[in-house]
A and B are shown apart, each in its own frame.
Chain A
Amino acid sequence: MKEITVNISRRHFFEKSATAVAGLSIAPGVFLTQVAQAKPAEQAVTADKRWGMLIDTGKCASGCTSCVDACHEENGVTSHGRPETDAQWIRKVKLRDKATNHVISLPMMCQHCETAPCVDVCPTGASFKRVDGIVLVDKHICIGCRYCMMACPYKARSFIHETITDQVEYAPRGKGTVESCTMCVQRVDVGGTPACVEACNKAEHGAMIFGDLKDPNSAISQELEKHGGKQIRADLKLNTGVRYQGI
């Protein structure tokens, strides 16, 4: 009888380790940090996860653009020499408190809202939220009307005005469509981390944490539980996937 129990738990162990290593935290102290999990390629994403980001503005260095550079390199976002209309998936924002002169620097991008205004207003269904919380544009059905750009309170979306060539193979981009941060979905789907978060860590700022908001043991959930995190324009009740500390 005892042997059967061992076998079941062993099988359970292998099942878990194949798909969700973090689930093993039932054994106290075995895994405290979230381990990268590779989703099998044929498996569809599920609502068991909700991907999110936590940004500590206290650690975000003013003048550093590592996250922006990494994002744009990863996704092949290049300038056409017209800064006003160039696509911008992520940008650095500097905020100065007039009373104290205290300056906060933070990266601003698609906040991957649970109730996303861009999804609400899209007339074709091109703006959509994946079940794991990532908000995307299906450019196959985007007609370039730009309603989503007007609806987004974070100014997170860009319209492509110019003909684009030499796109990277996993990030198709083309004239006449709208685009924004994809949370590096091509990386996330294979167990990776978005380029901006990775770049921030490599620059030794460590201001960005990426992870599963639904997993109470993930680094992001633990940090949120310990120190909290605010939504920008929380009054809109969009339940954003990107949260900030120190604002």
Chain B
Amino acid sequence: MLQLQQLMHKTLIGVIGVIALSFGSVAMAELDALDGVAKPKGDKCSIPGEESEIRAHHFQYILHQRDKTMHQGVRTKDSSLKECINCHVPENTSVRFGDDKHFCSACHKQAGVTIDCFQCHADRPGQIPGIHKQAMAELETKLNAEVTATPGTEPSVTGAAQ
């Protein structure tokens, strides 16, 4: 009986040892996953919190922002998928989602997580047609012109209010 107990004890230690070793190798592999992946452009992540928090829960932040953008028209850069791509994927890259060098693919492949974000969303920055770029440039000029033009109208407005 004592021998059986000792045997079980040893087996248990062995199993724990194997588990610990495999965890260690996963941790090492996690670090390897981002090897060769382009470094982010910015210094600070648009998702709040420490890196471990971002790694563990980024999808929750993105999901929350997704609904705010879609339904309420909130278009801040915080936790926006577009910002993830703008920062973590270089411009004019040939790397696409699914490649080992794509920032999102690298970890998700490692973790065995299938995501469908990029069935619809652009997987690299700069996917903006000329017509939109031109419209935004014209809009900016127009809004700037209004800001500089409005102080001149101030006397008549205050006059009317009095």
Contacts and interface: CB of A to CB of B under 8 A. Distances in A.
Contacts of A13: 154, 157-158
Contacts of B76: 41-42
Contacts of B139: 36, 187, 190-192
Interface string B113-157: 000000111100111111110011001001100100010011011
A170 B119 contact: no
Contacts of A128: 71
A5 to B, nearest CB: 6
Interface stretch (A52-60, A146-154, A171-179, A235-243): A171-179
Contacts of A164: 120
A140 B71 CA distance: 12
A198 B74 CA distance: 24
A132 B73 contact: yes
Nearest to B96: A165
Contact of B121 (A132, A136, A167, A185): A167
A12 B161 contact: yes
Contact of B160 (A28, A130, A187): A28
B120 A169 contact: no
Contacts of A167: 120-122, 127
**Chain B at the A interface: SS class:** helix
Given A36-B143, A192-B136, A140 B66 contact: yes
Interface string A188-230: 0111110100100000000000000000000000000000000
Contact of B150 (A17, A39, A43): A17
B127 A169 contact: yes
B75 A26 contact: no
B127 A166 contact: yes
Contacts of B52: none
A17 B147 CA distance: 8
Contacts of B154: 10, 13
B131 A185 contact: no
A138 B132 CA distance: 22
Interface stretch (A70-78, A85-93, A94-102): A70-78
Nearest to A139: B120
A88 to B, nearest CB: 18
Contact of B73 (A12, A17, A45): A45
Residue of B66, B119, B160 with most partner-chain A CB within 10 A? B119
Contact of B128 (A35, A168, A174): A168
B72 interface: yes
A44 B72 contact: yes
Given A36-B142, A191-B139, A43 B74 contact: yes
Interface of A: 2, 5-6, 9-10, 12-13, 17, 21, 24, 26-28, 30, 35-36, 38-39, 41-45, 70, 73-74, 76, 128, 130, 132, 136, 138-140, 163-164, 166-170, 172-175, 177, 185-187, 189-193, 195, 198
14 contacts: A10-B154, A13-B158, A24-B153, A27-B159, A30-B153, A70-B131, A130-B72, A132-B73, A170-B128, A173-B120, A187-B132, A189-B75, A192-B136, A195-B132
Interface of B: 66, 68, 70-77, 82, 85, 119-122, 125-132, 135-136, 139, 142-143, 146, 150, 153-154, 156-162
